[in-house]
C-alpha cells in the first residue's frame, strides 16, 4: 500500500499522467489484487489511486472494479460503484453497462435498480447476450410484461432468448403460455436444448397436460437429447404430477440414478400421489445404493408421512436427520412436522413444537397450524396462528379462517372486511384441463368461455348424479348466513368443476378426467 501511495504521489506531481496508457501500472495493481482473491482490496486500490491522480479511469480499470463488485456481492458497494461509473463518463458504454446489469440482476434486492437502468439504455446498442440479459432482468424483477414486450420487439433471438422467456412463464405461473412459447420456438427453427425441455416439462406437469408432456418426452427422444439428472428428475416430476405414477416409476427405473435429485423427484412424486409406504421403500433403496440423502429428501418423506397420517414414522425420520445423517432440520422440515402433527389432530403438540423452534417460525409454519385448526374445527388455535402471521396473511389464509368460523357458526366474522382493511385481494382460482392435446383454462364462476351454457348443464347433471351416489357438499364451509340452497350454489362454480365438466362435454367420458388447479383450498371438488 505504501508503494501504491508513492506511485500515485509521483504521478500526481507531474504532467505525465494524461493518457490512458499511463494507467497501465495502476490497472496492474488492481488486477493483481483480484488475482490474489482480494476483491475488497482491489476496490480499495481503485479508490486510493483515483483519489490521488487527476486522470479518470479507463475501460480496463472499470472492468476490473466491476469484477470485484461481482465477487463481493455487496449491495451497497455495487450502488456506490455505479455512481462512480457515472462520474467517470462510462454511463453509456454497452459492454460495461452489460456487466453492471449482470451484477444488478444477480442481487434480489437490487433488481429494481437494474430495471431502472435498463429503461434508460438504448435497447439495440447491445449484442445478443445483452438483450437476453435485459429480458432476464425484467423477468427476475417480476416485470414479465416488459420482458415479453422486449422479447417480441427484439430482432435477435437464440435458444437462450427463448429459454429465458419460457422459464419466466413457468416462474410467474403462465404455464399454458410456456407450452405455447415452446411450440412457437420450434416453428421459428430454433433447436431446443436440455434447459428448454426441463422448463416445458415443468409447465406440463403443473397443469396436468399429460398429452403435451408425453409429446415433449417423445420429442426429446427424437432429437436425441442427452439425458442428465435434471431432465430425468423433470420427467419423473411431470408424470407424477399428471397422475401417471406408474410411468414415473418406469422412467425412474430406466435412467441413471447416481444423483440425489432423481431420487428426490421420485420420493416427491410418490408423496403427492399418497404412496407414503412406497416413499419409505424408495428411501431404503437409496441407502442401499449408497446415495447420500439431503434436506430435500426429508422434506419429501415428511410430506408423505403427513398426507398419509404416518405420525410415528414421521417422528422417527425427523429425529434421525441430525443423529443418523448429520442434516440439521431447517424451517421446511419443522413446517412439515407441524403439518404432520396438526393433520393427525395433535394440535397442542404442533403448537409446542412451533414455540420451541431454534429459529423464528415463518408464515409457512403458522399456515400449517392454521390449516390443521380448520381440519379439526379449532377456532382458538386458528386465531393464534393467524395472529402470529399478521402482515403475512394472504387471501388463502382468510379463506381458511372463514372455513373455521363457518364450522363454529360464527357469522359475525367478516373475512372480506378484514381483507379490505389490509389491502389484500383474493387470488382467483384457476384450473386447467387438457382435451385432445389442447390446454383449456377456467376461472371460478367463469361464463365467458365457449360452450359455457353447455358446461353448466353438464355440471348440473353431474351434481345430480353424484348426490344419488351419496355425495354431500360441504356447505358448512361457506361463510354466509344464507340458505343451504344458496350455499350449495356457490360451491358449484369452482374452477375445478368447470374444467371437469368441460372435459366430460368434449370427450363424452365418465369421471376419469383430472384437472390441475392453482389454489388447493376447495374442499368440495370433482377430480378423476
What are 180-215's pLDDT values in tens digits? 999 999 999 999 999 999 999 999 999 999 999 999
Which three cell numbers mark 328? Answer: 440439521
Across the range 31-47, mean pLDDT stands at: 89
Give the confidence band of 5 by pLDDT, cuts at 50, 70, 90. Answer: very low
Domain of 74, in residue numbers: 1-91
What average pLDDT score do residues 74-78 get? 77
pLDDT in tens, 243-256: 999 999 999 999 99
Q: H or E segment at 125?
A: none
- Which neighbouring-strand residues pair with 439? 434
Final residue in a domain of this structure, among 58, 91, 124: 91
The pLDDT of 235-244, averaged and rounded, is 97
Decide if pLDDT at 424 tops 90. Answer: no
| Within a domain: 47 | yes
CB 123 within 8 A of CB 100: no
Q: Is residue 510 assigned to a domain?
A: yes
Where are the strands (E) in 325-484, listed by range?
Answer: 430-435, 438-443
CA distances from 355 to 178, 362, 390, 393 (A): 42, 12, 17, 19
Instruction: Band the pLDDT of 429: cuts 50, 70, 90.
Output: low
Domain membership flag for residue 390 = no
* 433 DSSP β-pair partners: 440
Residue where one domain finishes, among candidates 70, 91, 112: 91
Q: Does 484 have pLDDT greater than 60?
A: no
Q: How crowded is the C-beta side of 507, counted as CA atoms within 13 Å?
A: 18
Percentage of the chain beyond pLDDT 70 is 76
Nearest to 370 by CA among 380, 359, 356: 380
Last residue of a domain, one of 40, 64, 91: 91
Return d(Cα 404, Cα 409) in angstroms, integer.
9
Question: How buried is residue 387: exposed, middle or buried, by Cβ count under 10 Å (0-12/13-18/19+)?
Answer: exposed
Q: What is the structure's pLDDT at 215? A: 97
User: For residue 410, what pLDDT is reported?
Assistant: 53
Question: Is residue 522 a part of any domain in this protein?
Answer: no
Domain assignment present for 267: no
pLDDT the model gives residue 486: 45
Q: Which residue would you say has higher pLDDT here, 221 or 105?
A: 221
pLDDT of residue 11: 41
Residue 72: band (very low, low, confident or very high) from pLDDT cuts 50, 70, 90: confident
Q: Which residue has the higher pLDDT, 387 or 227?
A: 227
> How many domains does the structure of the chain reveal?
2
**pLDDT higher than 80, residue 403:** no
Mean pLDDT for all residues in the chain: 79
In a domain, 448, yes or no: yes
CB 103 within 8 A of CB 71: no
Q: Report the pLDDT value the prediction gives residue 275, as an integer from 0 to 100.
A: 97
- Three-class secondary structure assignment of 401-412: HHHHHHHCCCCC
Single out the residue of 187, 188, 171, 170 nearest to residue 179, CA to CA. Answer: 170
Query: Is 186 a domain residue?
Result: no
Q: Which of 415, 358, 334, 421 is nearest to 382 (CA)?
A: 415
SS3 (DSSP) at 271: helix
Structural domain includes residue 45: yes
Output the pTM of the full model. Answer: 0.73
Q: Are 376 and 345 in contact (CB under 8 A)?
A: yes
Give residue 309's region: left, alpha or beta (phi > 0; psi -120 to 50): left
CA angle 423, 426, 429 (to 5 degrees): 165
Amino acid at each position: 500500500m505504501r508503494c501504491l501511495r508513492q506511485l500515485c504521489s509521483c504521478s500526481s506531481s507531474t504532467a505525465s499522467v494524461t493518457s490512458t496508457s499511463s494507467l497501465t501500472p495502476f490497472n496492474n495493481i488492481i488486477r493483481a489484487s483480484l488475482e490474489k482473491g482480494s476483491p475488497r482490496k482491489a476496490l480499495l486500490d481503485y479508490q486510493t489511486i483515483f483519489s490521488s491522480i487527476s486522470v479518470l479511469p479507463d475501460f480496463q480499470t472499470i472492468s476490473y472494479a466491476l469484477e470485484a463488485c461481482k465477487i463481493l456481492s455487496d449491495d451497497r458497494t455495487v450502488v456506490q460503484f455505479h455512481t462512480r461509473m457515472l462520474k467517470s463518463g462510462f454511463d453509456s458504454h454497452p459492454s460495461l453497462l452489460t456487466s453492471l446489469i449482470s451484477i444488478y440482476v444477480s442481487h434480489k434486492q437490487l433488481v429494481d435498480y437494474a430495471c431502472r437502468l435498463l429503461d434508460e439504455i438504448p435497447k439495440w446498442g447491445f449484442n445478443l447476450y445483452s438483450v437476453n440479459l435485459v429480458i432476464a432482468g425484467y423477468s427476475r424483477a417480476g416485470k414479465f410484461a416488459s420482458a415479453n414486450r422486449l422479447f417480441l420487439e427484439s430482432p435477435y433471438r437464440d435458444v437462450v432468448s427463448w429459454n429465458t422467456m419460457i422459464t419466466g412463464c413457468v416462474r410467474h405461473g403462465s404455464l399454458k403460455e410456456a407450452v405455447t412459447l415452446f411450440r412457437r420456438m420450434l416453428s421459428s427453427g430454433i433447436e431446443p436444448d436440455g434447459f428448454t425441455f426441463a422448463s416445458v416439462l415443468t409447465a406440463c406437469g403443473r397443469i396436468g397436460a399429460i398429452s403435451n408432456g408425453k409429446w415433449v418426452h417423445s420429442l426429446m427422444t427424437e432429437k436425441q437429447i442427452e439425458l442428465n439428472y435434471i431432465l430425468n428428475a423433470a420427467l419423473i416430476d411431470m408424470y407424477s404430477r399428471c397422475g401417471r405414477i406408474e410411468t414415473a416409476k418406469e422412467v425412474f427405473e430406466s435412467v441413471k440414478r447416481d444423483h440425489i435429485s432423481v431420487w428426490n423427484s421420485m420420493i416427491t412424486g410418490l408423496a403427492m400421489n399418497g404412496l407414503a409406504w412406497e416413499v419409505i421403500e424408495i428411501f431404503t433403496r437409496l441407502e442401499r445404493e449408497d446415495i447420500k440423502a439431503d434436506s430435500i429428501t426429508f422434506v419429501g418423506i415428511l410430506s408423505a408421512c403427513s398426507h398419509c397420517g404416518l405420525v410415528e414414522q414421521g417422528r422417527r425420520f425427523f429425529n434421525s436427520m441430525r443423529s443418523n445423517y448429520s442434516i440439521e432440520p431447517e424451517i421446511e422440515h419443522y413446517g412439515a412436522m407441524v403439518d404432520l402433527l396438526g393433520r393427525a389432530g395433535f394440535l397442542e403438540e404442533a403448537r409446542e413444537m412451533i414455540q420451541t423452534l431454534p429459529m423464528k417460525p415463518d408464515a409457512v409454519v403458522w399456515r400449517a397450524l392454521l390449516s390443521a385448526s380448520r381440519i379439526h374445527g379449532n377456532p382458538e388455535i386458528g386465531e393464534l396462528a393467524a395472529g402470529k402471521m399478521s402482515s403475512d396473511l394472504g387471501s388463502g389464509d382468510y379463506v381458511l379462517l372463514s372455513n373455521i368460523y363457518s364450522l363454529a357458526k360464527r357469522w359475525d366474522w367478516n373475512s372480506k372486511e378484514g381483507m379490505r382493511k389490509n389491502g389484500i385481494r383474493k387470488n382467483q382460482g384457476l384450473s386447467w384441463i387438457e382435451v385432445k392435446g389442447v390446454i383449456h383454462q377456467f376461472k371460478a364462476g367463469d361464463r365467458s368461455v365457449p360452450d359455457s351454457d353447455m358446461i353448466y348443464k353438464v355440471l348440473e347433471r353431474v351434481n345430480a348424479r353424484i348426490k344419488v351416489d351419496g355425495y354431500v357438499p360441504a356447505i358448512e364451509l361457506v361463510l354466509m348466513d344464507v340458505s343451504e340452497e344458496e350455499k350449495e350454489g356457490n360451491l358449484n362454480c369452482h374452477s375445478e368443476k368447470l374444467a371437469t365438466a368441460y372435459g366430460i362435454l368434449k370427450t363424452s367420458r365418465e369421471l376419469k378426467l383430472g384437472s390441475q388447479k392453482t389454489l388447493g383450498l376447495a374442499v368440495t371438488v370433482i377430480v378423476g
